[in-house]
């Protein structure tokens, strides 16, 4: 196992571009599109490193979403963009659309009048569907954990102190 820096840079660049594109779709202002790119680049860089270190797509996506969620949660007040918007725009490029398309096409192939190898087609389609489902679940969980942990921490620190007891 070795880490290929060129592949990481490639994934980071195109992850950033994809996230900026989703930011445009989400109607994010021009000045804040850069932050979408940072989130998308970070997500795909972390996921690529995870994959190169031998992790599964699901575990690498979880780690990447956890990293994006933590960074966005920590810097959200300084950035001034909605945390949820940045989280989603940054992590959408990690959704395995190729697997989803193969799963759907496999299921469509089963509806043919005479399907070719229906058992094999169904098994492969279900495998792809499960990979998509678990990857999206990993991304959602990875994004939720930092906001839950850091939000609780902030709410505890912002509580008003109890009045001092009178002697």
Where in the chain are the domains?
5-157
Number of helices followed by number of strands (H, E) in the chain: 6, 0
User: What is the model's pLDDT at position 166?
Assistant: 62
60-78 confidence digits (pLDDT tens): 999 999 999 999 988 887 8
How many CB atoms neighbour CB 136 within 10 A?
A: 18
Q: Inform me whether the pLDDT recorded for 57 exceeds 70.
A: yes
How many CB atoms neighbour CB 156 within 10 A?
A: 8
CA 63 to centroid of chain Cα atoms: 9
Q: Cα(36)–Cα(20) distance, rounded to whole angstroms?
A: 5
Q: Cα(51)–Cα(68) distance, rounded to whole angstroms?
A: 17
132-159 confidence digits (pLDDT tens): 999 999 999 999 999 888 765 445 555 5
The mean pLDDT of the chain is 89
User: What is the model's pLDDT at position 83?
Assistant: 83
Confidence of residue 167 (pLDDT cuts 50, 70, 90): low
């Amino acid at each position: 196992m070795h880490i290929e820096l060129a592949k990481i840079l490639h994934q980071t660049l195109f992850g950033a571009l994809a996230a900026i594109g989703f930011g445009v779709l989400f109607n994010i202002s021009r000045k804040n599109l850069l932050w979408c790119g940072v989130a998308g680049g970070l997500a795909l860089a972390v996921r690529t490193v995870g994959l190169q270190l031998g992790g599964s797509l699901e575990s690498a996506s979880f780690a990447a979403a956890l990293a994006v969620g933590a960074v966005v949660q920590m810097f959200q007040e300084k950035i001034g963009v909605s945390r949820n918007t940045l989280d989603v725009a940054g992590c959408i490029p990690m959704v395995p659309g190729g697997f989803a398309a193969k799963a759907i096409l496999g299921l469509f192939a089963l509806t043919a009048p005479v399907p070719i190898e229906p058992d094999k087609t169904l098994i492969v389609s279900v495998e792809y569907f499960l990979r998509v489902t678990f990857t999206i679940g990993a991304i959602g969980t990875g994004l939720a954990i930092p906001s839950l942990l850091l939000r609780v921490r902030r709410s505890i620190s912002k509580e008003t102190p109890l009045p001092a007891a009178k002697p």
